[in-house]
Structure 1
Amino acid sequence: MGEQREPLTVEVDLEHGGRWTSLGTPRREWLWQRPSVRAEREAVQPGDAFVDAGGVEECFPTVAGRLDHGDVWARRWSGTAEDAHVQASGWELRRRMDVTDGVLTVRCTVTGEPGRGLLHAVHGLYALSASARVEVAPGAPLRVQDVAAGSDWVAGRWPGAEPLERCGPVDGSARLAVVATDTVRLVDGEDVLELRWRLERGSGPVSLLLWRNLGGWPAGAPYRSIGVEPLLGAATDVDTARADQLARTDDTGRLDWVVQARALTRHGGARSAA
């Protein structure tokens, strides 16, 4: 089955956390949105509980823990859509975005205390049909948590017992996984989105954070959302992670990492509605 690259565009909202509000091609919008909480999301202040509006949030310098989804998602960013920055928790995060030949390249530069540990997730929620798949190299090490049941993390290999690659319809489940990979493909009928990421300066692991909420969270008002998140580090809470699960700035106090995305069309398959 052949694949053809699609033009890709991105839009961001610097006033409200630098959130990516669109990642699209002429065929489709890839990002899932939750319009019912738009006003609530735009009114948040630093320290507020996370408001899940969809799109892509920058969860930095942690994903979970005492800073709910980090300390930058509720702050105003400075600069332009192509080159923006924000300061929080003793860090500066700079993000440069460029689309060339249909490939979106996002370059993130972190500056702060030399050797200090951090986590950074590019927290993307995607509009994926029940038949869509999340493709990762088979056998990649992972840890998975049954969030709906409140269970502990369990080690395994991709795609796990579920299997996690299936997006699926609403079934009351909610699982979170950290997968040892630097590449993922989202395949939805004829449409493909490929994400790749790498650390260029500093130290520590990179991973994939997968959030597959099929109506199992939150208790009392569940909904369906699929999070596919390039992760700098290998944990969700910077305060409880092991030392080897954190990324760290170098001896100058700097860390650089890159996330790239490209959209493709697969010929010969049936297209799914997102």
Structure 2
Amino acid sequence: MTAIVLDNGTLRLRLDPDFGARVSELTDLRTGRNWLVDGPAVGSPAQDATFGVEQARGWDECFPSAASCQVDAWPMALRDHGEFWARPVEVAATSESATLTGQAGPLRFQRTIALAGDRLTLTYRVLNEGAVAMPYLWGQHLLIAPQDGDRLELPGIDSLDAAFLSNGGRVLPSGPVAFPDPNRDGLPVLDRTHPLAADFAAKFFAPVRGEAEARVVGESGSFTLRWNGEEVGYLGLWLDYGGWPAEAPVQQISLAPTTAPMESLAAAVESGKASLIQPGEAREWTVAILIDANKDVSHD
């Protein structure tokens, strides 16, 4: 299928049904900024495919695991980055909405994107069509291309748990890190973007409650994610300012609402953090994205 474009005159969104309905463009037409990391859709549909720097573009949905692993309840070894990326999926679209439907084992997964002004409303639904309870993990893998002067705001969060931490080519121990200023190991402040020369990369998680928010604010406006922490209880945060990979460093940010504070479903099951859905049960949650073009707006 050819790319599907949603355009309401304020926002333009482009997605690829043949690549897991990846959103490759999310442009604010008022400023011309495409907030997503741009680049070609590169990847293999094979079950053992790996997700690396050439694949790290746009916006994918990681389901039912974000890392390759094996889980007893699942009939196959789970793919790196989930079951959908680089594979054709069903997409039904109008001029301002699109619904992705994909099948992962006995679980049917749906994501509907609806445009309204400067807002995207995302509705997710998982249905267990099988005969046994199934564990799963979901993470919204949306890669933002930072610009000079952008800053990161995480209301209500003053500590992050580092699952991966690399600074100056040295991998540091995982564990808690203060936000926004880690004040340790020469780490940069985390609420500011940094150039490739910073040689820093980190994957963090933080629990959230109530109405959760995470945003990037800069000269061209702001990009805000908003969701219910009772439905999706964690924020995943990927910051890469030239620290990954060593052979081809990049600059990117991922604000990632997720159902578990890890990427492997096997690890989530072992720690009791996996979501469990019963036969015939449906689970739904929503995420809103707000894109504000007014660079003078205050978010204090």
TM category, shorter = 0.7 to 0.9
Deviation for aligned residue 1:223: 2.0
| 2:225 is equivalent to residue 179 of structure 1 | no
Moved over 4 A (4+): none
| 2:184 is equivalent to residue 164 of structure 1 | no
- Determine which of 146, 163, 188 is the counterpart of 2:218: 188
Q: Aligned ranges for residues 114-153 of structure 1 at < 5 Å?
A: 115-144=133-162, 145-147=164-166, 149-153=170-174
Query: Residues 158 and 65 from structure 1, CA distance in 2 versus in 1: closer, same or farther, beyond 3 angstroms?
Result: farther
SS for the counterpart of 2:152 is strand
Conserved in 1, the CA contact under 8 Å of 2:204 and 2:236?
yes
Conserved in 1, the CA contact under 8 Å of 2:112 and 2:124?
yes
Deviation for aligned residue 1:174: 1.0
Encode CA deviations 1:98-146: one digit per residue, 9 max, x unaligned: 1123321111111226653321111111121132111102544421121
| 2:97 is equivalent to residue 97 of structure 1 | no
Q: Distance in 1 between matches of 2:38 and 2:14?
A: 13
Unaligned ranges ≥5, structure 1? 1-5, 270-274
| 2:77 is equivalent to residue 74 of structure 1 | no
TM-score normalised by the chain length of structure 1: 0.83
Deviation for aligned residue 1:258: 1.0
| 2:62 is equivalent to residue 59 of structure 1 | yes
Amino acid at match of 1:121: G
Q: Distance in 1 between matches of 2:89 and 2:102?
A: 5
Select the structure with the greater relative contact order (CA < 8 A; seq sep ≥ 6). Answer: 1
Deviation for aligned residue 1:152: 4.2
Q: What corresponds to 2:49 in structure 1?
A: 48
Q: Distance in 2 between matches of 1:143 and 1:236?
A: 13
Encode CA deviations 1:191-217: one digit per residue, 9 max, x unaligned: 1011112378xx6x5222111111111
Deviation for aligned residue 1:234: 2.3
Unaligned ranges ≥5, structure 2? 1-8, 70-78, 183-187
Amino acid at match of 1:248: L
Query: Residues 250 and 130 from structure 1, CA distance in 2 versus in 1: closer, same or farther, beyond 3 angstroms?
Result: farther
Q: Distance in 2 between matches of 1:158 and 1:250?
A: 37
Conserved in 2, the CA contact under 8 Å of 1:133 and 1:188?
yes
Conserved in 2, the CA contact under 8 Å of 1:210 and 1:228?
yes
Q: What corresponds to 1:14 in structure 2?
A: 17
Identity of aligned residues (%): 25
Q: Which has the larger radius of gyration?
A: 2
Q: Distance in 2 between matches of 1:58 and 1:95?
A: 9
What is the alpha-carbon root mean square deviation over aligned residues?
2.5
Encode CA deviations 1:71-103: one digit per residue, 9 max, x unaligned: 211221113241220112432111111112332
Encode CA deviations 1:134-172: one digit per residue, 9 max, x unaligned: 110254442112146444431244335043222211111
Deviation for aligned residue 1:219: 2.9
Conserved in 1, the CA contact under 8 Å of 2:221 and 2:295?
no
Q: Distance in 2 between matches of 1:150 and 1:267?
A: 36
Query: Residues 266 and 193 from structure 1, CA distance in 2 versus in 1: closer, same or farther, beyond 3 angstroms?
Result: same
Moved more, 216-225 or 255-264: 216-225
Query: Residues 220 and 102 from structure 1, CA distance in 2 versus in 1: closer, same or farther, beyond 3 angstroms?
Result: closer
Query: Residues 174 and 89 from structure 1, CA distance in 2 versus in 1: closer, same or farther, beyond 3 angstroms?
Result: farther
Q: Distance in 2 between matches of 1:115 and 1:100?
A: 36
Deviation for aligned residue 1:13: 0.7
Deviation for aligned residue 1:220: 2.2
Q: Distance in 2 between matches of 1:98 and 1:89?
A: 27
Conserved in 2, the CA contact under 8 Å of 1:174 and 1:217?
yes
Q: Distance in 2 between matches of 1:61 and 1:47?
A: 15
Conserved in 2, the CA contact under 8 Å of 1:158 and 1:179?
no
SS for the counterpart of 2:148 is coil
Conserved in 2, the CA contact under 8 Å of 1:191 and 1:263?
yes
Q: Aligned ranges for residues 233-272 of structure 1 at < 5 Å?
A: 233-241=260-268, 242-249=270-277, 252-268=280-296
Conserved in 2, the CA contact under 8 Å of 1:180 and 1:206?
yes
Q: Distance in 2 between matches of 1:141 and 1:74?
A: 35
Q: Distance in 1 between matches of 2:106 and 2:213?
A: 30
